[in-house]
């Protein structure tokens, strides 16, 4: 089961925010009015802070909303516009990123997007060759973590385990070889693309 955390977080912010606003605009003035009427009827209670606190006390649900709303709002802003954590789901990025690794993604490198909807509202930059990016394809709900090989206008070809971008062979430097858990011989190369150097397995 895939949990849509951004959607849940957005709804949590909306609900706690609405309850806090309801208390601020409606419920708290009612409590203060009720306290004023009580003091008018029982003037002796006016200086008793304990009695006053009971009359002005927020209901438990409203109190939780006031407590959680600023925290949830801060988390929503951070995750939606600044940084978001992701976990590596597959071995496709080895040896640079291993399964289970956590990475912190810069959310504003490619522009600011609305939470949940994903609509871009501010265009800041575009993916460049060699960068690692997180994206969700339009036909799936799962996120992918991949390296950018080609950008719009590029011609990309993969032939005999060699990568060509715009008919130029991407340079490889042999590093080492080892035998993995299944007994396969794995060769490690360093590849250079877009001014970045990283290791790949063959």
Residues marked as catalytic = 92, 146
Q: How far apart are CA 75 and CA 56, in angstroms?
A: 30
Name the residue with tokens 């709900």: 141
Q: How far apart are CA 10 and CA 12, in angstroms?
A: 5
142-146's contacts with Cβ under 8 Å and 24+ in sequence apart are 142/2, 142/89, 143/86, 143/89, 145/86, 145/88, 145/89, 145/93, 145/97, 145/103, 146/92, 146/93
Q: How far apart are CA 73 and CA 195, in angstroms?
A: 38
Q: What is the largest CA-CA distance in the chain?
A: 92
Q: How far apart are CA 139 and CA 142, in angstroms?
A: 9
Distance of CA 183 to CAs 95, 174, 178, 188, Å? 17, 20, 9, 15
Q: How far apart are CA 14 and CA 32, in angstroms?
A: 26
């Amino acid at each position: 089961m895939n949990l849509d955390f951004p959607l849940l977080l957005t709804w949590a912010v909306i609900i706690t925010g609405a309850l806090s606003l309801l208390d601020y605009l409606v419920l708290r003035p009612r409590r203060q009015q009720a306290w004023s009427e009580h003091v008018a009827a029982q003037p002796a209670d006016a200086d008793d802070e304990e009695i006053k606190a009971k009359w002005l006390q927020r209901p438990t649900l409203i109190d939780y909303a006031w407590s959680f709303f600023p925290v949830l709002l801060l988390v929503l802003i951070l995750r939606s516009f600044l940084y978001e954590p992701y976990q590596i789901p597959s071995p496709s990025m080895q040896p640079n990123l291993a399964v289970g690794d956590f990475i912190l993604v810069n959310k504003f490198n490619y522009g600011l997007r609305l939470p949940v909807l994903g609509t871009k509202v501010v265009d800041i930059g575009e993916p460049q060759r060699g960068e690692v990016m997180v994206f969700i394809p339009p036909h799936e709900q799962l996120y992918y973590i991949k390296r950018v090989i080609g950008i719009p206008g590029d011609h990309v070809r993969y032939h005999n385990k060699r990568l060509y971008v715009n008919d130029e062979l991407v340079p490889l430097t042999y590093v080492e070889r080892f035998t993995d858990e299944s007994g396969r011989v794995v060769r490690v190369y360093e590849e250079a693309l877009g001014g970045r150097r990283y290791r790949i397995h063959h």
